Amino acid sequence: MSVRYLTAKLAQQIDEELMSATGAFSLDQLMELAGLACAQTLATVYSKEKYPRVLVCCGPGNQGGDGLVAARHLGMFGYKPTIWMPKPGSKDIYKRLKTQCDNMKIQTLAPADDTSTLRDVLARSDVILDAIFGFSFKPPVRAPFDTALPLISDSGLPIVSVDIPSGWDVEKGNAEGVGLNPEVLISLTAPKEGVKTFAGRHFLGGRFVPKSMEKFDLNLPEYLGFDQIVELPRAGTQKL
């Protein structure tokens, strides 16, 4: 049995249950483990020797928080991350996560009203962590991300996307053609329907789904040893 691909609605439901009184997780805990898994995925594929300069692109929602956590861990791993976060979330947790990055001497670009800042930093980056939109994204892509996505694509830099490549529909994928084309994807908790045909390297993170969630028939693959991530077979290939 292969892993279950989630609809946007089911992804939302599982997320809510994890953080309900029943699941008892705090957002801080889940974000920490998710962000760590994102950082480990990037570090698995792109070495800090060849790809030291990571541009971490953070959206305004929870996925932006995962990105901030990942940026901090990447700093710990010896990368040189820079954060682009033009619309910081208003929740207290984003401010705390941002301060933690400041304490790691990680630069956050000032929100700019034009796209020159992003263009500049793309020119001096080696790899991108795309933590812009997550499973609660609904089209269309709004400013400033509408102009940012083409810039990021045109940079030609390798991209690691979190959960769903930014601009893709959570269920229909990149049908509209406006989304990023990452080389690597890190799905959190379980992959979403929209990435069923994703042809790049695909990892799964979020080794926190308890046995009590077996009712959702997620058919999660086995994580090895004490790894926080596991690679999924590529679309169209046999199980690894």
Q: Residues at the annotated binding site for K(+)?
A: 63, 130, 166
Name the DSSP letter for residue 108. E
Residue number, 175 or 210, with CB nearest to its own copies: 210
Site size with its own copies, rule: CB under 8 A: 36
Q: Which DSSP helix (H) or strand (E) runs through 118?
A: helix 116-123
AA identity, residue 88: P
Binding mask 33-72 for its own copies (x = CB under 8 A): x--x--xx--xx---------------------------x
Q: Which stretch binds its own copies (CB under 8 A): 2-10, 16-24, 59-67, 157-165?
A: 16-24
Is residue 207 a contact point for its own copies (CB under 8 A)? Answer: yes
Place of tokens 């077979």: 233
From the centroid of its chain, how far is CA 44? 15
Angle of helix 116-123 relative to helix 145-154, nearest 10 degrees, comes to 20
124-136 burial: b if 16+ Cβ within 10 Å, else e: ebbbbbbbbbbbe
Is residue 108 a contact point for its own copies (CB under 8 A)? Answer: no
Report the binding-site residues. 62-66, 130, 134-140, 163, 166
Is 215 within 8 Å of 198 (Cβ atoms)? Answer: no
Pick from 9, 13, 16, 103: which binds its own copies (CB under 8 A)?
103
Handedness of CA 49, 122, 188, 201 (dihedral sign): negative
User: Where on the chain is the footprint of its own copies (CB under 8 A)?
Assistant: 21-26, 28-29, 32-33, 36, 39-40, 43-44, 72-73, 76-77, 95-97, 99-100, 103-105, 207-208, 210-213, 223, 225-226
